Amino acid sequence: MTKKNKEFVIKVLCANCGTILYKYKKEGAGFLVKCYVDGILKDYTRKDLKCPKCNQQFARLARYHNRPAHKIIHGKVIVKGHCGQ
């Protein structure tokens, strides 16, 4: 028996000021540790990995499974689940 890969859309918000950063297509269950760049549906940032409102850095550039990703800094974002695309 194989597991089905569940995908759903979430909103990623700044933990400091509540500004929306991304709409992201999350793969699987669990905490948000990284955001693959190709999974970001809508990017509300200036592409500098900082909140556009309070200028707090929320992620670092990384590479996982040969895919570019944004490694989330623990405690810097809030996730709101299952929103419409």
Give residue 44's domain range. 7-80
Q: How many CB atoms lie within 10 A of CB 14?
A: 22
Q: What is the DSSP string of 21-80?
A: EEEEEEESSS---EEEGGGEEEE-S-SSSB-TTT--B-EEEEEETTEEEEEEPTTSEEEE
2 falls within a domain? no
51 falls within a domain? yes
Residue 7 has pLDDT above 70, yes or no: yes
pLDDT at 1: 47
Q: Mean pLDDT over residues 15-28, rounded?
A: 94
Q: What is the pTM of this model?
A: 0.86
Query: Where is pLDDT greater, at 36 or 3?
Result: 36
Give the tokens for residue 73. Answer: 């800094």
Tens of pLDDT, residue by residue over 39-82, are 999 999 999 999 999 999 999 999 999 999 999 999 999 999 86
pLDDT at 27: 87
Count structural domains, the chain.
1
85 falls within a domain? no
Give the tokens for residue 22. Answer: 């991304």
